[in-house]
């Protein structure tokens, strides 16, 4: 995905400002009316008076432009989680309760805009916890990390999301090599007949990561990669690129990474060019957009990572959460990003309550503990503290669901835990 990173000079200026604003992300709570208590007995020390306070939580996502679909899905998950937390009295910390207040900033999937959002979060809003970003991590984390602001991204753990010195960054999706490997382990179990592959990926950094990882995985499974074809993201005419792909007649076309809209349009156009083999979108997510743009016939057999949380493959607690979402947001898709963003907020809540403090350094100790157990969307959480990814231990071990479109309907067939070395 394309984005513009802030210049080195701009980064220096911003980091200098952070030194001046020594509060960083601290002090984001706003005191409300004390909770009335009993009159203390004369000669005794009164108990602390409980307070209802406000804790800001940021959302740093593309809410307009080419990445808006993902950003809005994330926003929906965050709002749902905040609504649940606030409706039950907020986060309990000692004698006090904290009510979440959401602060959003549209990064437009552009590094320079995202850096402005990060500066606002740190210097103006003094935010300590935020959901996002998707791919603008290199622009925002050099600003947010000195301010001790946690970011939890529903994107894959690549240098676009999480870096070696970004000690307050969390990614809830597995690193791309492990993610791709878990997906194709399932795909090949259902389609052992696949012999040849053409990889189609964007000419951006995400495409670089995905195409390299996909090629390695296919070859590890003994399949022949005929070609790796790159396309310009956010285009509308993919016929020239896809004509090259169709001419090679692979068993499967692997759309490795990329934006939903791009993949959806390519599914439509490659079928129009006469390709009748298998299609895969290992990072696509919600299939509704493909069915809408390409149509059911063109999408038939499309292999995707879009899970079905109502499936018996999941525990009852997960299915109940999914039913709750469907009741709350009737007719709205429930993507892996919605799932991840909801879970990110709940992860913060559990860590804060475990730490007994909203202080990021105290909460960081909880995240660093390899024995800490937490809930992840109705399932037992995976350990954060024991992993080593890009130099730090900040990845939630995820799983990859495997689904196919059958007669115009998504059918989930399996789920595979991601094993991170």
Radius of gyration of the chain (CA): 23
Between 62 and 158, whose confidence is greater?
A: 62
Instruction: List pLDDT tens digits, range 270-303.
Output: 999 999 999 999 877 788 889 999 999 999 999 9
Summarised one tens digit per residue, pLDDT across range 320-352 is: 999 999 999 988 888 888 989 999 999 999 999
Q: Are residues 102 and 239 in the same domain?
A: no
Is residue 243 domain-resident?
A: yes
Q: The domain containing residue 224 runs over which residues?
A: 177-309+401-417
Same domain, residue pair 209 and 260: yes
Residues 191 and 255 in one domain: yes
Among the residues of 131-220, which ranges form H helices? 137-144, 176-190, 205-220
Q: Is position 2 within any domain?
A: no
Considering the domain architecture, whether residues 274 and 413 belong to the same structural domain is answered as yes
CB-neighbour burial class of residue 369 (10 A; exposed 0-12, middle 13-18, buried 19+) = middle
User: Structural domain tally of the chain?
Assistant: 2
Q: What pLDDT shows up at residue 331? A: 83
Assigned domain for 211 exists? yes
292 and 235: one domain?
yes
Domain membership of residue 324 (yes or no) is: no
Task: Check residue 102 and give its pLDDT.
Answer: 98
**Residues 268 and 187 occupy one common structural domain:** yes
CB atoms within 10 A of CB 189: 12
Residue 231: is it exposed, middle or buried by C-beta count within 10 angstroms (0-12/13-18/19+)? buried
Are both 140 and 13 inside the same structural domain? yes
Closest CA to 248 of 198, 192, 214: 198
> Do residues 187 and 285 both lie within one domain?
yes
Q: Percent of the chain beyond pLDDT 90?
A: 60
| Residue with the two structure tokens 């690193």 | 175
CATH of the domain at 279: 3.40.50.2300
Task: Specify the residue for token string 């990072």.
Answer: 283
Q: Model's pTM, two decimal places?
A: 0.81
Same domain, 182 and 246: yes
Question: How many Cα atoms are found within 13 Å in the side-chain-facing hemisphere of 199?
Answer: 26
Residues 198 and 225 in one domain: yes
- Asked if 148 and 137 sit in the same domain, the reply is yes
- Nearest partner of 266 among 244, 295, 236, judged by Cα: 236
- On whether residue 316 sits in a domain, the answer given is no
The answer to whether position 45 is within a domain reads no
Find the range with the poorest average confidence among 34-48, 244-258, 319-333, 406-420.
34-48
Question: What's residue 44's pLDDT?
Answer: 53
Rounded CA separation 302/313 (Å) = 20
13 within a domain of the structure (yes/no)? yes
Domain annotation covers residue 44: no
Give me the pLDDT at residue 13, please.
Answer: 33
Q: Are residues 22 and 147 in the same domain?
A: yes
Q: What percent of the chain has pLDDT over 70?
A: 83
């Amino acid at each position: 995905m394309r984005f513009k990173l802030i210049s080195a000079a701009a980064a220096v200026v911003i980091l200098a400002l952070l030194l001046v604003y020594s509060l960083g992300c601290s002090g984001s709570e706003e005191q409300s009316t004390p909770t009335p208590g009993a009159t203390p007995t004369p000669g005794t020390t009164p108990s602390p008076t409980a307070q209802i306070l406000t804790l800001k939580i940021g959302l740093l996502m593309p809410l307009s432009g080419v990445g808006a679909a993902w950003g809005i899905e994330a926003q929906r998950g965050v709002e749902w989680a905040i609504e649940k937390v606030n409706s039950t009295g907020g986060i309990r910390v000692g004698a006090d309760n904290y009510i979440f207040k959401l602060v959003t900033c549209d990064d437009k999937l552009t590094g320079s805009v995202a850096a402005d959002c990060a500066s606002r979060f740190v210097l103006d809003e003094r935010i300590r916890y935020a959901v996002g970003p998707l791919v603008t991590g290199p622009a925002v984390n050099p600003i947010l990390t000195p301010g001790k602001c946690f970011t939890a991204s529903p994107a894959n753990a690549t240098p676009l999301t999480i870096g070696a010195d970004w000690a307050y960054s969390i990614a809830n999706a597995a690193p791309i090599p492990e993610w791709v490997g878990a997906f194709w382990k399932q795909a090949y179990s259902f389609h052992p007949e696949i012999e040849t592959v053409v990889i189609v990926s964007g000419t951006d950094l995400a495409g670089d990561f995905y195409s390299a990882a996909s090629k390695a995985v296919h070859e590890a499974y003994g399949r022949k990669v005929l070609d790796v074809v790159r396309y310009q993201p956010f285009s509308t005419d993919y016929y020239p690129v896809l004509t090259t792909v169709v001419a090679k007649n692979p068993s499967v076309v692997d759309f490795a990474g990329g934006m939903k809209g791009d993949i959806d349009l390519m599914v439509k156009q490659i079928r129009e060019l006469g390709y009748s083999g298998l299609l895969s979108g290992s990072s696509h997510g919600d299939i509704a957009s493909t069915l809408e743009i390409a149509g059911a016939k063109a999408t038939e057999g499309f292999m995707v990572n879009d899970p079905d949380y109502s499936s018996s493959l999941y525990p009852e607690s997960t299915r109940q959460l999914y039913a709750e979402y469907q009741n709350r947001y009737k007719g709205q898709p429930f993507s892996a990003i919605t799932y991840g963003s909801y879970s990110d907020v709940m992860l913060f809540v559990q860590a804060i309550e475990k730490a007994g403090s909203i202080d990021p350094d105290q909460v960081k100790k909880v995240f660093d503990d390899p024995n800490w157990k937490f809930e992840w969307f109705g399932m037992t959480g995976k350990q954060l503290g024991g992993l080593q990814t890009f130099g730090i231990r900040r990845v939630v071990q995820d799983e990859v669901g495997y689904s196919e479109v059958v007669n115009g309907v998504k059918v989930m067939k399996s789920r595979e835990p991601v094993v991170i070395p």
